[in-house]
Amino acid sequence: MLFEVWAPKAEERVSLWLEGVELPMERDTGGLEGWWNVQAQAAAGARYGFSLDGGPVLPDPRSRRQPDGPDGPSAVVDQDGHSWRCDWAGRPLTGDSVLYELHIGTWTHAGTLDAAADHLGELAELGITHVELMPLCPFPGVHGWGYEGVSPWAVHEPYGGPEALKRFVDTAHGHGLGVVLDVVHNHLGPSGNYLPAFGPYFTEAHHTPWGAAVNLDAPGSDEVRAYLLGSALAWLRDYRIDGLRLDAIHALADSRALTFLEELSSAVDELSAELDRPLFLIAESDRCDPRTTRPREEGGLGLHAQWNDDFHHALHTALTGESHGYYADFARAPLAALAKTLSRCFFHDGAYSTFRGRTHGRPVDVVRTPAHRFLGYAQTHDQIGNRALGDRLSAMLSPGLMACAATLVLTGPFIPMLFMGEEWGARTPWQFFTDHTDPDLARAVREGRRREFAAHGWAAEEIPDPQDPATRERSCLDRAERERPGHARLLAWHRELIALRREQPDLADPDLAAVRTAYDEQARWLAFRRGDLRIALNFADVPAAIPLGGARPRGAGEGGGDGGARILAAWEPVEPPGADGVLRLPPQSCAVVAET
| CATH number, domain containing residue 47 | 2.60.40.10
Residues 6+ apart with CB under 8 A from 32: none
8 Å CB contact between 210 and 445: no
My answer on whether 399 and 482 are in the same domain is yes
What is the dihedral angle through the alpha carbons of 243, 249, 254, 259, rounded to the nearest 10 degrees? 30
Separation of alpha carbons 220 and 231, rounded Å = 17
My answer on whether 498 and 552 are in the same domain is no
Which of these is catalytic: 101, 254, 263, 284?
Answer: 284
pLDDT at 210: 86
My answer on whether 541 and 488 are in the same domain is no
pLDDT at 29: 76
Nearest Cα to 170, choosing from 125, 122, 116? 116
Separation of alpha carbons 93 and 77, rounded Å = 31
User: Rg for the chain (alpha carbons), in Å?
Assistant: 25
What is the dihedral angle through the alpha carbons of 568, 575, 587, 346, rounded to the nearest 10 degrees? 40
Instruction: Provide the whole-model pTM.
Output: 0.96
My answer on whether 401 and 529 are in the same domain is no
Nearest Cα to 163, choosing from 238, 221, 214? 238
My answer on whether 353 and 482 are in the same domain is yes
Containing domain of residue 586, as a range? 516-595
What is the dihedral angle through the alpha carbons of 309, 314, 316, 317, rounded to the nearest 10 degrees? 140
My answer on whether 432 and 460 are in the same domain is no
- Domain-embedded: residue 30: yes
Q: What is the pLDDT of residues 350-379, one digit of tens each?
A: 999 999 999 999 999 999 999 999 999 999
Is position 247 annotated as part of the catalytic site?
A: yes
My answer on whether 346 and 456 are in the same domain is no
- Domain-embedded: residue 568: yes
My answer on whether 401 and 459 are in the same domain is no
The beta-strand segments (E) located in 87-144 are: 99-102, 130-133
Exposure string of 355-377, with b = 16+ CB inside 10 Å and e = fewer, is eeeeebbbebebeebebbbbbbb
Which of these is catalytic: 148, 223, 242, 247?
Answer: 247
- Domain-embedded: residue 211: yes
- Domain-embedded: residue 508: no
Instruction: Report residue 210 CA to chain centroid gap.
Output: 19
Q: What is the pLDDT of residues 442-453, one digit of tens each?
A: 999 999 999 889
Give me the numbers of helices (H) and strands (E) for the chain, helices first please: 15, 27
pLDDT at 464: 95
Question: DSSP character for 549?
Answer: B
Low-confidence ranges of the chain (pLDDT < 70): 31, 550-563
- For the chain, the domain total comes to 4
Supply φ then ψ for residue 583, to 5 degrees.
-100, 125
Which CATH number covers residue 424? Answer: 3.20.20.80
List, edge to edge, every strand of the sheet that includes 35-39: 2-6, 35-39, 26-27
8 Å CB contact between 228 and 202: no
My answer on whether 382 and 457 are in the same domain is no
Residues 6+ apart with CB under 8 A from 351: 359, 360, 361
Which amino acid, residue 193?
A: N
8 Å CB contact between 81 and 49: no
Nearest Cα to 307, choosing from 387, 416, 392, 393? 416
- Domain-embedded: residue 87: no
pLDDT at 484: 97
Residues 6+ apart with CB under 8 A from 359: 350, 351, 352, 353
List, edge to edge, every strand of the sheet that includes 565-570: 516-520, 525-530, 533-538, 589-595, 565-570
Is position 87 annotated as part of the catalytic site?
A: no
Separation of alpha carbons 111 and 40, rounded Å = 36
pLDDT at 560: 40
- Domain-embedded: residue 91: no
My answer on whether 389 and 419 are in the same domain is yes
Which amino acid, residue 570?
A: A
pLDDT at 563: 55
